[in-house]
Amino acid sequence: MNRRTVITGMGWITPLGHDIESAWARLRKGDSGIAKTTIFDAGTFPTQFAAEVKGFDLKAFLGDDYETHKDVSRQAGFALAAAKMAWKDAGLDAAADLDKTRVGVYLGGGEGPIDFHNFTTAAVEGWNYEENHLDTKRWADVAYERLQRVMEAEQEPNMAAGHMARLFGVEGPNFNTLTACAASTQAIGEAMNLIRRGDADGMISGGCHSMIHPFGTTGFNRLTALSTRNDSPSTSSRPFDRTRDGFVLGEGAGMVILEELSHAKARGAKILGEIVGYGSTADAFRITDIHEDGRGGIAAMRTAMEDAGLRPEDIHYISAHGTSTVENDKIETLAIKGVFGEQAKNVPVSSIKSMLGHLIAAAGSCELITCVLAIRDGIIPPTMNYANPDPLCDLDYVPNEPRKADVKTCLSNSFGFGGQNNTLAVTAFRE
Amino acid sequence: MKKHRVVITGLGVASPLGLGITETFDGLVEKRCGLERLKAFDPSHFSSRIAGEVEIGKVQNYVPKGYRKATKVMARDIVLAVVASYHAVKDAGLKTKCIVDRGEADGLPDVDSTRFGANIGAGLICADLGELAGALATAAQRPDATGDRGFSLAKWGNEGMTNLTPLWLLKFLPNMLACHVTIVHDCQAPSNTITCGEASSHLAVGEAFRTIERGAASVCICGGAESKINPMSLARQSLMGRLAANGDSDPTQASRPFDTSRTGMVISEGGGLMILEAMEHAQRRGARIYGEIVGFGAAASATHWMNPAPDGRALSLAISKALADADVSPDKVDLVNAFGVGTKEHDIAEAAGIRKVFGDHTATVPVLATKGSLGNNGAGSGAIDLAVTSMAMHRGVIPPSLNTEAVDPACGLNVVCRDPIDCRADVALSVASAMCGGQTAALVIRRYQA
């Protein structure tokens, strides 16, 4: 007996808005969520802009539950709000006899931001300049005085998933995966497999992350992975454009409710789409570079299509990982050609990272949600800021304008640092 | 859909008792303790000054020659995983890229890299404070002052950050354990990284079990690794009030799972990686089989993400699901491997969860606990435990729990203590719980019968 996995609820907190419809409207318009960094003063950093979530109010989403969860880290707050949105969207707040031991969580949650001021203070006070080493006695004295128990605990990457169990009372399997930029695509794929096998009837899945903090920006700046177009933040993310110079850090959360089909039908849930295939592979090549043949991405897409029983001509849209780094966009293009051959140029490919920035662990789930909306409305979101064709990137990237199209089946790609490749196949629901 | 049977063919461990499963297992049987005064840094101003540390030697010796440079960007957690991975593939007799490069592949059959997956649990990897603090110190406003030196974000952005190696961030991404391991051994099939504290290993092994079961891979390297031996992790655990008191006089007596006089846990480090294989695959290459994974269950606490619920409900749900998955009734379980971290409340909650499932059988089923000797190896603890449990079934010996002298009546478990006992277990259960986050997991291992 084949257990099918459908999507019955969606929610997101993004740099372009805090509800599904308004952020989707802005994505269709080609708006940019990217601007000068305000979370910290990045004025001297190589990159001084980001795609921030603005005016977020966790209390507005959690209501009476806010007090219980008020100490969550920034990204876990995004996750709880997006999950609450998805839960309501699925009508689960009104579901009377839900067996909550059969509902779980599979999150691609990032670590919480470090308590920066107190952390740096302890580090600097503890440094022995004469002998050039950390004096752990002095460090400990300052650390014990300044670091706070709850704030430290809430940095653990599995805390958001733990809070969700409490918030929704769900006692089923509870996972957090953190495969860098591929995490939430991985989470949804693995959650689908849990449902398919019968280990759960419902899963709250997706991802959350915020690395817009001094250490996150430092880390990616040192890797020279970020765009440094400080004079023009809103056009800085330009996937597949020849002048692209790196990705733009974003933050947020994207959450979906996955349900086994008969479970969803039995409670009369509206069905938004179906996850039909998932592929996960490792490049096993280098921690810094993608394998130059794109073999990992090729294998991930092929596995997802085989899993779903889809042929290349069945795919109407590919939501690309499309980070706007020189390497990713070139090799992802190569990988798509590796899978689709002659037909590659006929498949629309776009990257909403051109507007939303790169939400890291949360990127994949937000892109999957976009695929579901593209299917629903028959509109493919554009790749913005595409101006200069790159001979190595020669596919149909849906440049600068949204496109009306009959979209029934999509692939959503996510590729992470270290060679993590994950692809999901999602379709319109048919009986 | 046909489900593949999944067997355990390799055990790799890097623990405070030594490298390789034999060292660790023999150490437990001989009641050795891997805990002593912390050596990695001066712990004198911390509330706990003892730890379990792993002696590794050079990690360069565990990777292909062309990969030695990459060991410079490995956090301690990654090093532990890489070392454990070598021992695991070696123990399994797998011809991986690393084994070929070392010239140790003679007579071993090829492994298809595209059918070789990974699922590795990781913790919140702490930045190397010595390195990071040194770089941050260059951005102090008043470096000459004896206090209130002030950190300048502007100085940091301008030039301070350039004191960090360009690849700095990659040392601390949790998925880098799996990335380095998959590169070193060339594993290209499904790869995942589970970050759920002390439940990470069980969840990762459980997921790897499922991956092979559904046919998405033929072999998986799975488990976890973590090091809490750094000032930040020690301070964190100390703030959480979980560390054992009075360890200074005799560190070897500080960690006391389920004992009436237990006072808390001891921080530690370690890596455990296992090789799981589709049964036909293992049979075809004539592999030694330690046991078969037959059940997996996971559940979460809906009560609180930090404080364990005294009734251990989440763990009891995970155990029940794992036993149902294995189609085994509780009275048929011959051995329980508990998490037994040694804090008052966690041990009570865990024992309650076990009792809830086993009822009267609790009094007789032997409980294996390792933390008295090993301390809390974080995300690596579960896989070390699973390896020890597999070895106990394989060798026919259950090692005693060090320092468990009088089992707390509030726990009420039949903990194997004082002396090792014979193990004729056909079915063993191993459990774990995340100390932050509320995740729990259970796995059932059965003696292998073709």
> How many Å apart are CA B375 and CA A32, to the nearest integer?
50
| pLDDT value of position A96 | 83
> How many Å apart are CA B354 and CA B368, to the nearest integer?
13
> How many Å apart are CA B165 and CA B423, to the nearest integer?
51
| Interchain pair A156, B169: CB under 8 A | no
> How many Å apart are CA A407 and CA A54, to the nearest integer?
31
Q: Does A219 touch chain B (CB under 8 A)?
A: yes
> How many Å apart are CA B312 and CA B330, to the nearest integer?
17
Would you list the domain boundaries of chain B?
A: 6-126+172-446, 129-168
Average pLDDT over residues A296-313: 98
B contact residues 263-292, partner A, Cβ 8 Å cutoff: none
DSSP string, B248-276: SS-GGGS--TTBTT---B-B-EEEEEEEE
Q: Which of A133, A177, A190, A196 to mutate to test the interface with B (most CBs of B within 10 A)?
A: A177
Q: Scanning the structure block, which residue is given the tokens 């969840």?
A: B203
At how many degrees (to 10) do helices A295-308 and A326-340 cross? 40
What lies within 8 Å, CB to CB, of B378 at 6+ separation is: B123, B197, B198, B200, B224, B226, B227, B228, B268, B269, B270
Chain B residue at shortest CA distance from A281: B190
Q: Which of A175, A194, A286, A302 to mutate to test the interface with B (most CBs of B within 10 A)?
A: A175
Please report the number of interchain residue pairs, chain A to chain B, with beta-carbon separation below 8 angstroms. 301
Is A410 assigned a catalytic role?
A: no
B contact residues 110-149, partner A, Cβ 8 Å cutoff: 113-114, 117-118, 122, 124, 127, 129-130, 132-134, 136-137, 139-140, 143-144, 147-149
Contact predicate A273/A311, CB 8 Å: no
| pLDDT value of position B280 | 98
Among the partner residues B173, B196, B240, nearest to A158 by beta-carbon distance: B196
Determine the length of chain A: 431
Please state the φ and ψ torsions of residue A425, each to the nearest 5 degrees.
-115, 125
| pLDDT value of position A1 | 56
The closest alpha carbon to B165, from B128, B208, B209, belongs to: B128
Q: Which of A107, A118, A120 to mutate to test the interface with B (most CBs of B within 10 A)?
A: A120
Q: Which CATH number fits domain B6-126+172-446: 3.40.50.300, 3.40.47.10, 3.40.30.10, 1.10.1200.120?
A: 3.40.47.10
> Could you read off the pLDDT of B46-100 as tens digits, one per residue?
999 999 999 999 999 999 999 999 999 999 999 999 999 999 999 999 999 999 9
| Interchain pair B191, A280: CB under 8 A | yes
Average pLDDT over residues B289-315: 97
Is A209 assigned a catalytic role?
A: no
> How many Å apart are CA B140 and CA A125, to the nearest integer?
9
Q: Does B182 touch chain A (CB under 8 A)?
A: yes
Q: Does A272 touch chain B (CB under 8 A)?
A: no
Active-site annotation holder among A263, A321, A371, A410: A321
Architecture of domain A5-114+155-427: 3-Layer(aba) Sandwich (3.40)
What lies within 8 Å, CB to CB, of B249 at 6+ separation is: none
Q: Does B155 touch chain A (CB under 8 A)?
A: yes
Q: Which two tokens stand for residue A370?
A: 């976009």
B contact residues 59-78, partner A, Cβ 8 Å cutoff: 70, 73
Q: Which residues from B are below 8 Å from A174, CB to CB?
A: 196, 298-300, 437-439
| Interchain pair A172, B196: CB under 8 A | no
Residue B2 has pLDDT above 80, yes or no: no
Average pLDDT over residues B305-331: 97
* Averaged confidence pLDDT in chain A: 97
| Interchain pair B45, A419: CB under 8 A | no
Q: CA–CA distance from B317 to each of A122, A332, B311, B433 (Å)? A: 42, 42, 11, 12
Q: Does B81 touch chain A (CB under 8 A)?
A: no
| Interchain pair A176, B161: CB under 8 A | no
> How many Å apart are CA B152 and CA B446, to the nearest integer?
58
* Separation of CA B37 from chain center: 21
| Interchain pair A165, B235: CB under 8 A | no
Residue B403 has pLDDT above 70, yes or no: yes
Is A358 assigned a catalytic role?
A: yes
Q: Which of A48, A105, A127 to mutate to test the interface with B (most CBs of B within 10 A)?
A: A127
β-bridge partners, A188: none
> How many Å apart are CA B153 and CA B158, to the nearest integer?
9
Average pLDDT over residues B240-250: 92
> How many Å apart are CA A239 and CA A231, to the nearest integer?
18
The closest alpha carbon to A362, from A177, A201, A167, belongs to: A177
> How many Å apart are CA B149 and CA B129, to the nearest integer?
18
ipTM: 0.98
How close is the nearest chain A Cα to the Cα of B43, in Å?
Answer: 7
Q: Does B426 touch chain A (CB under 8 A)?
A: no
* 3-state SS, one letter per residue, for chain A: CCCCEEEEEEEEEECCECCHHHHHHHHHHCCCCCEECCCCCCCCCCCCEEECCCCCCHHHHHHHHHHHHCCCCHHHHHHHHHHHHHHHHCCHHHCCCCCHHHEEEEEEECCCCCCHHHHHHHHHHHEECCCCEECHHHHHHHHHHHCCHHHHHCCCCCHHHHHHHHHHCCCCCEEEECCHHHHHHHHHHHHHHHHHHCCCCEEEEEEEEECCCHHHHHHHHHCCCECCCCCCHHHCCCCCECCCCCECEEEEEEEEEEEEHHHHHHCCCCCCEEEEEEEEEECCCCCCCCCCCCHHHHHHHHHHHHHHCCCHHHCCEEECCCCCCHHHHHHHHHHHHHHHHHHHHHCCEECCHHHHCECHHHHHHHHHHHHHHHHHHCEECCECCCCCEECCECCCCCECCCEECCCCEEEEEEEECCCEEEEEEEECCCC
Q: Which two tokens stand for residue A160?
A: 């958001």
| pLDDT value of position A2 | 87
Q: Is B277 helix (H, G, I), strand (E, B) or coil?
A: strand
| Interchain pair A417, B133: CB under 8 A | no
> Could you read off the pLDDT of B187-212 as tens digits, one per residue?
999 999 999 999 999 999 999 999 99
Average pLDDT over residues B409-431: 97
Residue A93 has pLDDT above 60, yes or no: yes
Active-site annotation holder among A163, A181, A209, A316: A181
> How many Å apart are CA B326 and CA B333, to the nearest integer?
11
Q: Is B1 helix (H, G, I), strand (E, B) or coil?
A: coil
Give percent of chain B with pLDDT exceeding 90: 98
Residue B350 has pLDDT above 60, yes or no: yes
Chain B residue at shortest CA distance from A144: B235
Chain B residue at shortest CA distance from A117: B151
> How many Å apart are CA B237 and CA B222, to the nearest integer?
26
Chain B residue at shortest CA distance from A415: B191
Q: Which two tokens stand for residue A405?
A: 């199209």
* Averaged confidence pLDDT in chain B: 97
Average pLDDT over residues A147-154: 96
> Could you read off the pLDDT of A96-112 as tens digits, one per residue?
899 999 999 999 999 99
Contact predicate A81/A100, CB 8 Å: no
